Structure 1
Amino acid sequence: MNWTLSFAPLAPLWIIAALGTAGLVVVALGLLSRTRGAGLRLLVLAVLVAALLNPTARREERDILPDIAAIVIDRSQSQTVGDREVRTDAAAARLAEALDKLPDLETRTVTVRSGPGTAREGTQLFSGLYGALSDVPPERFAGAILITDGQVHDVPERFAKEGYNGPVHALITGERDERDRRIVVEEAPRFGIVGEEQTIRFRVEDAGADDEQNGRAEVSVSVNGEPRETILVPVGEAAEIAVRIEHGGPTITELAAAPLEGELSTQNNTAIVETEGIRDRLRVLLVSGEPHPGERTWRNLLKADASVDLVHFTILRPPEKQDGTPIRELSLIAFPTRELFAEKLDEFDLVIFDRYQRRGVLPLVYLSNVVNYVENGGAVLVAAGPDFASPLSLYRTPLSSVMPSRPSGDIVEEPYRAAITGPGRRHPVTRDLPGSEQTPPAWGRWFRLIDVEPLSGDTLMSGPGERPLMMLSRQAQGRVAQLLSDHAWLWARGYEGGGPQAELLRRLAHWLMKEPDLEEEALIGRDMGGSLQIERRTMAETADPVTVTVPSGAEREVTLEEIEPGLWRGALPVEEVGLYRLTDGELNAVAAIGSPDPKEIADLRATADKLTPVTEETGGGVYWLADGSSPESPALPRLSKRSGDRVMAGESWLGLKANGAYRVTAVSDMPVLNGLLGLSALLLLLGLAWYREGR
């Protein structure tokens, strides 16, 4: 219960002031002339002025409101280093117990985490604090206690500007004078031309290390999870490596520095650079053995793609044909066989033999060059017609050593619908082709097929009697495909509704040129914003679980589910940014989650420097929990509540502000001079004044 005095003037204050001044002058004159009763006149004037001011005694019933303190616990990725998590848990438990014992105090605890979504922003500790205090009046704020390693990335320039007047204390979970090594990428290309080299510029930094340890660091370089080389680089100086972009799509380069003796963690010893491979131009050599209806289809398909440089030759008149037409009158150029098949063959991404047969145009030595071209990583597509079953078959050349099938010599001529085989439903080239979801597929019919005996590779499409129609094979470092019919052009013409000719041949060509999206055996990890999506493409009937190694070194096992034939997927929730390593025992892969250069692991050393300006501004303190006897018993300061502007931190104690805030629950007013009491007092004093003057 509290009493206060308030006023409710019965007249405007200027009138009361004027009357009081005039009366005071009269009384003063009386006092100066020592007139009898002048003192009583002063009392009369005072009572009159007080009555006009109408004083009221107010009684309030108050409920004391507890002060509010905030505990902000840092659970970011850098807090997983060493014994920090143990100290954090122990300090949080003991702190909550100690705060419960303080009078008139309410505690709010907020946990701040990091993850892929905060990779660029880092640890947002004060954002979490403001969120916890969003509905707290500033007059009830007792203070904040931050349990963190000090690596905070949203420290305000002036905490008082946020409207909170209370101490901020920091409990540092790391140890003093920690050492750490990290790799900093200074310059890296985001895109690169396939077949060309890109330069990555980086440096190795040793923070907190002795000068004698700063010499050279061993850095291992891996590309797409495959080790490439190990180099020695000077610590603190820029170094460069060249990475060749072998295919379209992402190329992930990993730089891993050898651990520094006694360093804090190896989480930031690794840097990742993701370069998107772009094909500048696709160079395709198309050799048509003779004019036929499907020839124009191949040409139109390849010329429709602006990124394709097509070199096309059609053999209109073989050497044995003599019709008397002079060479100079043929509207053709000479077939530059030596230039194409001896000098510039390796410059082509794909070589297509379209109904080609041995007629002496290409000497066998040039076809041997094609074999070498395949074995060294080249791609060949054989679009076969009746010529492939004849004695002049391309199979009866050195190319037979890389062919996935042998012609039997028979030609099947009957109407049929191309079908997807079992392996074809799992292979990316033919999986989910438009129209293949029906049985039989909703495609137009073909009328010819070259009968062959499979030797290697996979049969993805079949014709009548389940005979192979399209076969794919890997040969050494290169790839070979066979399309065993020359009627694909019927789909392009829309015969009986046509079919996905353009899509099929596009996929086929890109598989031959090793596009990652069409690899039948692949393990891929993708950042899906808060989770790691794992995709496994395989020709097998089952897919083994994938073991994922997170940036901190822990391992997680993910079971995959079949989405469609040949395609398996799984997901892993992620809280850490950095490089994730995937393996199923057969294939290995890496995935970059979050920013390539995340703030959270840029510097893992514990520090008080970032929070000291805030603690000094607010009167708080900084305390190192590692000064305790063990991680389970951190050096927690003593807590107390203090009022006023006194110092809120000491060497072994920290204070919280006692604001004394309250809520008024009831109010009652009592006039000090009610009408009768004021009139009685005034008349009594006037009577005394007259009596005094009359004596």
Structure 2
Amino acid sequence: MNPIVTTGVTYQDWQLVLLSSWSTARWVVALAAALAALLLSWWGCRRQRRALRLLLVGLRALAVGAVLFVVLQPALQLRSVTRVPNHVAVLLDSSASMALREGPRTPARRERAAALFARSRPRLAAWRREHLVDAFTFHSELSAAGPLDQPQRAEGPATRLGVALEQLHRRYAAGALAGVLVVSDGIDNGVIGRGPLSAEVRRLVRALGAPIHTAWIGGLPVRDLAVGAVHADDFAFVRNVVKVEVELIATGVAPGPLTVTLARGRRVVASRTLLLQPHVERYATTFELVPPRVGKFVYTVSVPLQPGEALASNNERSFLLQVIRDRVRVLQVCGRPSWDERFLRHWLKRDPNVDLISFFILRTPASLSLAPTSELSLIPFPTDELFDRELGSFDLVILQDFNFAPYGIGAYLPQLRRYVEQGGALAMVGGALSFSSGGYAGTPVGAILPVRLLPASTDERELLDEDDFQLRPTPRGLDHPILRLGRDHDETQALLARLPPLAGANRLGAAWPDATVLATHPKLRLADGQPMPVLAVRAVGRGRTLALATDSLWHWAFLGLGEPGDDPVAYDQFWRNAIRWLIKDPALQQLRVLVQRDRLPLGAEAQWLVRAYALDYGPARGLELEYGVTRLSATLPPVPLLRRRAHTNDQGELQLGFRAPQAGAYRLWARAVIGGRRSYARELLLVEAASLEGRELQARDGVLRELSQRSGGQFLGAVSTLPALPWRPSQVLHVNWRHDVELWNSPYTLVLVVLLLGLEWTARRRFGHF
């Protein structure tokens, strides 16, 4: 509107107002009375001609309107106003992809964005004269920007333009935005993605109520090969197939074969070959692996680095796999039927957590048979299946009163030793066909047992002792989990003392230096006068072995006292403890490393705990231990990062923190001496680059185009300077001065009211209406 000048003041705006101070109730009564007056006038002249009726009702309406005009007290309000500038929001992408250089001599995208604003300083100044220009950077969230003509830090872990627009919508009141300018490479890895815009995003664009102009920082080709994603379960069962799905993104890479490898640590587990094709960016492949043992492992999917790649860190991706047991798989091989074999086999079959494969020999190759072999119902001993192809599938192998020689197993004994060294468990139970009596002296199996075996030249009558005896635990045996049959040492000793005696034992040599003797014979002595071991254990490589030099432990189950408190009975508890120790049940570890989270984004601090238990499994207070951190790699040797000593607190714990310097896998470890035995524990930590930016590097403009199109903005493309852009005008006014011109307060108004009332009264009298 043209400005109005009055009383020396210029007014830029005007509006009609009502100055009456009547309440709402009074206005309702007044309007009802006016309406009633009109209706009565219409009813009174309903029998008149139409023209006369319209004249009389019209005069009544003008009279009533004139009265209401005076009562309402209308006025013309003149205002001197200033239009409040609205906001232009500039959103500059600061995600990690903006730091990318498409070529060795090409400026980074963030530098090209800064150059765009530097060349557009006059345009920005023109916008500031009419609007408030607010500068923001965005990646996974919105934040204030520094000078736009200077390169911004581009370290954001993700590009979430939808989140930035949502935060912008919450930041400004309705109508406060003149428009939005988005400067980005267009790689969105949030809700918008590759587009098209979802219904939710379209509603957000409409709610902003302002045009969204977009400038694209892209257009240059990128060469990159990335492991986009790896999909695998967090948990798997040992020796069961695990499927690993891999997504690859190839941008600007020459067509041809590509090898994708899956490695556990530094060992390649599997590989796949893909054929890269022209104009195809996304590929998928699947690996199937069978975890060989229980534990937590780091697996890495990788692709080879291509010449001229823009980013090398996205060529591999690691994941953690926790391998657990479905059931404990046990192989029991017995040389002949016996009470000891029967009781152990039935106990294993009763345990729902045990998957038992049991073989016992009923007929040897030397057995006399009057029928041909084809007519016998007994199956041949499956030597090759058990000790070659399927050996690694067992958690525990029990050789019970079994001599290997008659069955051609001697050639498989080195494999049995390797099985133990690689993490398996072996228990040898006594009998007339076991230990030295079974010919194990000088064999690979004899070398991994906890005790030395008497030489094969020993008289067979000196290899067995048939006298009854009471098992005598050693001090270290009372502390060991296997002989924890009671609540404490005294209860365990009392229980062992009242159990039935054992009938006979295999004669053994001394224990190996790295073995632990848990129980001895009360009468039999070694050459040096020490008691002969009857029960001993040993750690061999990553596995464990147990030697029990008697075949009469079944007495404990058959003749067990079963007195109050003996629940479970000694036989059950012994074998349950023995199996748990042999397979390294984590619940029996006296030193443990625990992490609050085994997967962390880069930059977060890992909280981890070392917990130590004494021999009685109470807190190991004030225990000196050593702890450290080692960085693991799929291609390089482990790198120690930290190694220190400390003491546990009154709870037997040590609280620690660690912040990884870079993404990757780390081993958190601790070692200590508890009760004279060395204990070691470790946990794996996977630190992942929090950024999603490395998955896809090629700039794209589709999302920016659609945002501009749906909001009424302009897509500028890869411009060198910012052009003039249409912004929404401000709708907010600030009133500086106000002047009311009362339209009703005039003699002419009063004359008009009286004239209309008189005219209406005269007309009614003239035509006979009162």
Instruction: Tell whether the structures are fold-level matches, with TM greater than 0.5.
Output: yes
- Answering whether residue 665 of structure 2 is matched by residue 581 of structure 1, we say yes
Q: CA deviation at 1:374?
A: 1.1
In structure 2, which of residues 537, 543, 556 is the aligned counterpart of residue 471 of structure 1? 537
1:221-232 mapped onto 2 (5 Å cutoff): 221-228=262-269
> Deviation per CA, 1:412-450, whole angstroms, max 9, x where unpaired?
95654774799x7xxxxx69x989997789787546898
1:181 and 1:269 in contact (8 A); partners too: yes
State which drifts further: 452-461 or 367-376.
Answer: 452-461
Q: Secondary structure at the match of 2:221?
A: coil
1: CA distance, partners of 2:490 / 2:740: 95
2: CA distance, partners of 1:544 / 1:173: 45
Residue 648 of structure 1: aligned partner: none
In structure 2, which of residues 387, 393, 397 is the aligned counterpart of residue 351 of structure 1? 397
Q: Secondary structure at the match of 1:610?
A: helix
1:507 and 1:518 in contact (8 A); partners too: no
Q: Secondary structure at the match of 1:545?
A: strand
Q: CA deviation at 1:670?
A: 6.9
Q: CA deviation at 1:308?
A: 0.6
Q: Which amino acid aligns with 2:358?
A: V
2: CA distance, partners of 1:441 / 1:68: 81
2: CA distance, partners of 1:562 / 1:91: 59
2:183 and 2:215 in contact (8 A); partners too: yes
2:298 and 2:665 in contact (8 A); partners too: no
In structure 1, which of residues 545, 556, 560 is the aligned counterpart of residue 629 of structure 2? 545
- Answering whether residue 395 of structure 2 is matched by residue 381 of structure 1, we say no
Residue 256 of structure 2: aligned partner: 215
- Answering whether residue 701 of structure 2 is matched by residue 608 of structure 1, we say yes
Q: Secondary structure at the match of 1:113?
A: coil
2: CA distance, partners of 1:662 / 1:523: 63
Cα separation, partners in 2 of 1:16 and 1:164, compared to 1, 3 Å: farther
2: CA distance, partners of 1:676 / 1:490: 128
2: CA distance, partners of 1:415 / 1:516: 26
Q: CA deviation at 1:371?
A: 1.4
1:305-324 mapped onto 2 (5 Å cutoff): 305=352, 308-313=355-360
Q: Secondary structure at the match of 2:208?
A: coil
Residue 392 of structure 1: aligned partner: 437
- Answering whether residue 225 of structure 2 is matched by residue 181 of structure 1, we say yes
- Answering whether residue 17 of structure 2 is matched by residue 6 of structure 1, we say yes
1: CA distance, partners of 2:723 / 2:509: 88
Q: CA deviation at 1:245?
A: 3.9
1: CA distance, partners of 2:135 / 2:484: 58
In structure 2, which of residues 177, 180, 197 is the aligned counterpart of residue 144 of structure 1? 180
> Deviation per CA, 1:310-360, whole angstroms, max 9, x where unpaired?
31538899x99xxxxx999xxxx9986x61445643334242024x27xxx
- Answering whether residue 211 of structure 2 is matched by residue 154 of structure 1, we say no
Residue 546 of structure 2: aligned partner: 482
2: CA distance, partners of 1:390 / 1:178: 68
Q: Secondary structure at the match of 2:703?
A: coil
- Answering whether residue 715 of structure 2 is matched by residue 679 of structure 1, we say no
Residue 507 of structure 1: aligned partner: 580
Cα separation, partners in 2 of 1:377 and 1:148, compared to 1, 3 Å: farther
1: CA distance, partners of 2:217 / 2:494: 71
- Answering whether residue 457 of structure 2 is matched by residue 405 of structure 1, we say no
Q: CA deviation at 1:481?
A: 0.5
State which drifts further: 2-11 or 127-136.
Answer: 2-11
2:17 and 2:75 in contact (8 A); partners too: yes
Cα separation, partners in 2 of 1:15 and 1:122, compared to 1, 3 Å: farther
Cα separation, partners in 2 of 1:111 and 1:491, compared to 1, 3 Å: farther
Q: Which amino acid aligns with 1:133?
A: H
Unaligned runs of 5+ in 2: 1-10, 21-26, 43-50, 52-61, 102-107, 142-156, 278-282, 455-462, 522-529, 613-623, 671-681, 759-770
In structure 2, which of residues 289, 301, 304 is the aligned counterpart of residue 255 of structure 1? 301
1: CA distance, partners of 2:625 / 2:68: 103
Q: Which amino acid aligns with 2:16?
A: L
Residue 643 of structure 1: aligned partner: none
Superposition RMSD on alpha carbons, in Å? 6.6
Residue 764 of structure 2: aligned partner: none
> Deviation per CA, 1:244-288, whole angstroms, max 9, x where unpaired?
543356776533222233332234433567777687883512427
- Answering whether residue 403 of structure 2 is matched by residue 339 of structure 1, we say no
Q: Which amino acid aligns with 2:75?
A: T
2:428 and 2:548 in contact (8 A); partners too: yes
Residue 512 of structure 2: aligned partner: 455
Cα separation, partners in 2 of 1:280 and 1:295, compared to 1, 3 Å: same
2: CA distance, partners of 1:406 / 1:505: 21
1:364 and 1:397 in contact (8 A); partners too: no
2:90 and 2:136 in contact (8 A); partners too: yes
1:402-441 mapped onto 2 (5 Å cutoff): 402-406=448-452, 413=470, 415-416=472-473, 419=476
2:247 and 2:284 in contact (8 A); partners too: yes
> Deviation per CA, 1:118-170, whole angstroms, max 9, x where unpaired?
xxx97432124313422633211233344543222323447663322112244
Residue 296 of structure 1: aligned partner: 343
2:580 and 2:588 in contact (8 A); partners too: no
Cα separation, partners in 2 of 1:534 and 1:413, compared to 1, 3 Å: farther
1:27-66 mapped onto 2 (5 Å cutoff): 50-51=69-70, 54-58=73-77
Cα separation, partners in 2 of 1:186 and 1:682, compared to 1, 3 Å: closer
Q: CA deviation at 1:524?
A: 9.9
Cα separation, partners in 2 of 1:248 and 1:667, compared to 1, 3 Å: farther
- Answering whether residue 358 of structure 2 is matched by residue 287 of structure 1, we say no
1:514-529 mapped onto 2 (5 Å cutoff): 527-528=598-599
1: CA distance, partners of 2:127 / 2:494: 80
Q: Secondary structure at the match of 1:377?
A: helix
2: CA distance, partners of 1:655 / 1:662: 20
Cα separation, partners in 2 of 1:48 and 1:446, compared to 1, 3 Å: closer
Q: Matched residue pairs, number?
A: 607
Q: Which amino acid aligns with 2:731?
A: G
Residue 632 of structure 1: aligned partner: none
Q: CA deviation at 1:304?
A: 1.4
Cα separation, partners in 2 of 1:68 and 1:249, compared to 1, 3 Å: farther
Residue 210 of structure 2: aligned partner: 166
Q: Secondary structure at the match of 2:708?
A: helix
Question: RCO higher in 1 or 2 (8 Å CA, sep ≥ 6)?
Answer: 1
Q: Which amino acid aligns with 1:510?
A: I
In structure 1, which of residues 83, 91, 113 is the aligned counterpart of residue 140 of structure 2? 113
1: CA distance, partners of 2:333 / 2:97: 57
Q: Which amino acid aligns with 2:545?
A: A
2: CA distance, partners of 1:72 / 1:436: 70
2: CA distance, partners of 1:291 / 1:66: 98
2:511 and 2:536 in contact (8 A); partners too: no
Cα separation, partners in 2 of 1:126 and 1:391, compared to 1, 3 Å: closer
2: CA distance, partners of 1:680 / 1:661: 41
1:615 and 1:621 in contact (8 A); partners too: yes
Residue 24 of structure 1: aligned partner: none
Cα separation, partners in 2 of 1:105 and 1:562, compared to 1, 3 Å: farther
Q: Which amino acid aligns with 1:659?
A: S
Q: CA deviation at 1:186?
A: 10
Q: Secondary structure at the match of 2:17?
A: strand
Residue 427 of structure 1: aligned partner: none
Q: Percent identity?
A: 14
Cα separation, partners in 2 of 1:621 and 1:184, compared to 1, 3 Å: same
